[in-house]
Structure 1
């Protein structure tokens, strides 16, 4: 072991010096294409060999954790709950990468028989040899092991798949073609898994129940990746909710009638028709710029918001599930800085804090310079059920023209922010869908209250005159306005 450790230290020093010199001297710029590709290949081999060593060492940790008494286990000695946590702390890798390392280590580990002390073959002996030779890396190992383990095939069948996949990684049997990469091995492993699955005759519904999943990853660059497989009835229900929110008639806002528009499109007049205006590229920004997948994201946000305020979901810590957003009072007033979501390390914009604060309660927590909490206060700023019904009766749905999101899916926006003295009153609350509420600071639409009636001023592409206009989709108010215009 000392020889291996000395070798690693020497490699670290030599490689570190070479990499530092290459980065600082700029010598990479003077290399030809062949030389650059040779460096790429060489670095990738070294990386795979390092990953193979890492997996082998973690396999040793796994074995010690299985046979050693609890107080003597490495995880116990270093204060970790699992080998994965120990690996994550030591390598400074992400939780997902640490999980892949442990998964590969268990697959390549050579267990020792407790009764005889005999070293048994690994679950994937051919891939173990390929990893030792620097042929396959961690990503490919995790993909292959995950697919074949899920297939629950017998030992002999797994050995056959292991040998074939290792041969594919080495390029054996491929007529002049390149060796299989990580994506190729993942696909081949999935094909093998489908072929070897002993539960192939099991009813489809039972298999689907075992494979249902939904996961959310970490938050890189302001986005949280999601993946999973939904049962058909769950997917259908979600699709129905999407369809109810993303109604086909939401084709963008109607161009307002006014002195600069005429329905007849008289060629002699200095005006254009509504249809012509909508076809004019200058008016393209008036339509909804979101793609279908963006609309579905926003529909999901509405569904989650409605579910959280429904009172029908289980409580957490004695209270309804609550999205917690923290921001300093100074940043919220100045409009500069960031906010933070509970359970997410990625900072978010102040627009998120304002939107959440507009639809939820605010709890002021005062702390001193050292962090000690010195005061807690609750500010009642949530529109109650009676106010919501009244605002729904007045507005009828999202106020933005052309948006047909129904009132049940809308949020109530404080026209004058509560932090700036705006009251939680029906004269200061309007219905907006999640997306228009979230982007109100940047989408060109403006809202104001005049005598308790909401008015909208649209972007110049929608309304060149930028006039304030009372707007509603309430059938009651529309019927009243129609009767008022009717003669007699």
Structure 2
């Protein structure tokens, strides 16, 4: 297969530099159709490979918390996109083979395959295998005329075509299945922009959407006749107010041994001279004015940093890595230090490099920040961790994964 894919790669590469402008209109359209069909066929191959990798447990064996995270590292995808690949690969593997065949033949797109797979799964549950097989044929035929959005809408009444005797009773089951998919697909993604701002994207299920609106709507009203903010800006400010109100409660759970809090790193001299910008523990930056405003209502915890941003003086030694020592660890590692992991500090545990029970000290030189998955992985696998010459953690993979055992670092968390 590797050789055949390499030959296909060479053939496609030969087309990249061909002059599309020289094609007659009929040839241009035919070339587009061929490229599109080839793209879908390659998608079928990729899904089969993803399914095999997921089934073998390759991702976890190599230290990733899931196949989706491993695909993000390997193929440079977003985690939601990678997760959709894994889910669709599983659905096509365990579902009706007609969907996989249609994709492999280039008759449907990968998005249409996802819609058909969801719809056929519902039909199979409510009407059995025979009706599901009929549904595949009908939906594949419809896919030649309709885009994925309209195909999904038409699919809600597919039983009228393949099992009319139970269509009305199954409509309720279809609604329940749609609700289950909404629960499965719920997500919220926080993406850091290059200028330090944050983009929020996601899908809320119906209940959560209702909760958010109930909480945020009372805070979105204009503050007066002179309020020049747009509706979107008022929603933004309402979300900020909601977060402030929440952080003032005492009901939030702890994060890694500390109460819920905002941690800002800045220079004391620059703070007092109105000059210094601040850095949150999420690596986002704040203006000097914002830092000073927040400092008016905050407990200031001093941290002395060396030239490589290494915390030098943050409190006494203890067995548990909490308080000032944990804050020092967050300042240094910025999140899970395991290579390829993007988990923020609040999701992480502090790990003794040389275990306390074996005589290891509780100090910055003997600690590393790890998310729950990679903390367990380090304890039960052959990876080792050490601090490099610049004081930052690096991980040595097992020989079966990398015969040269070259040290690896995490590059997701920005360092100064």
TM-score w.r.t. length of structure 1: 0.50
Aligned equivalents of 2:310 and 2:151: distance in 1? 54
2:245 is matched with: 306
Return the match for 2:5 from 1, 4, 8. 8
Aligned partners of 2:221 and 2:234 also within 8 Å: no
Work out whether residues 99 and 136 of structure 2, in 8 Å CA contact, stay in contact via their aligned partners in 1. Answer: yes
Check 1:242–1:160 CA distance in 2 against 1; reply closer, same or farther (3 A cut). Answer: same
Task: List alignment gaps of at least 5 residues for structure 2.
Answer: 161-165, 316-322, 325-416
The CA deviation string for residues 310-344 of structure 1, in whole angstroms up to 9 with x for no partner, is 223333334332244556789988979894552x7
Q: Is 1:47 aligned to residue 57 of structure 2?
A: no
Aligned to 1:103: 87
Q: What does residue range 108-187 of structure 1 map to in structure 2 within 5 Å?
A: 108-109=92-93, 122-146=94-118, 149=121, 152-156=125-129, 157-169=131-143, 171=144, 179-187=145-153
Q: Deviations over 1:434-456 (max 9, x none)?
A: xxxxxxxxxxxxxxxxxxxxxxx
Cα distance in 2 for residues equivalent to 1:330 and 1:17: 60
1:288 paired to 2:260: no
CA distance in 2, matches of 1:324, 1:43: 51
Alignment counterpart, residue 74 of structure 1, candidates 51, 54, 58:
58
Report if aligned partners of 2:220, 2:238 keep a CA contact under 8 Å in 1: yes
Contact 1:100–1:138 at 8 Å: present in 2 too?
A: no
Name the residue aligned to 1:225.
201
- d(CA) in 1 for partners of 2:297 and 2:31? 55
> 1:46, CA displacement in angstroms?
2.5
Contact 1:251 1:288 in 2 (8 A): no
Structure 2: distance between partners of 1:144 and 1:330: 62
Alpha-carbon distance in 1 for matches of 2:29, 2:64: 41
**Aligned equivalents of 1:148, 1:84: Cα separation in 2:** 24
Larger Rg: 1
Question: Cα distance 1:205–1:327, how it changes in 2: closer, same or farther (>3 A)?
Answer: farther
Which residue matches 2:218?
Answer: 244
DSSP 3-state at the match of 1:312? coil
Query: Across the two proteins, how many residue pairs are aligned to each other?
Result: 302
Distance (whole Å) between structure 2 residues aligned to residue 327 and residue 160 of structure 1: 65
Residue 241 of structure 2 aligns to a residue in which SS?
helix
State the match for 1:90 in structure 2: 74
Please give the residue correspondences for 1:348-367 in structure 2 after superposition, counting only pairs within 5 Å: 350=287, 354=291, 360-367=298-305
The 8 Å contact of residues 98 and 136 in structure 2, kept in 1 or not, is answered as yes
Query: Aligned partners of 2:69 and 2:149: how far apart in 1?
Result: 27
CA RMSD across the alignment: 4.4
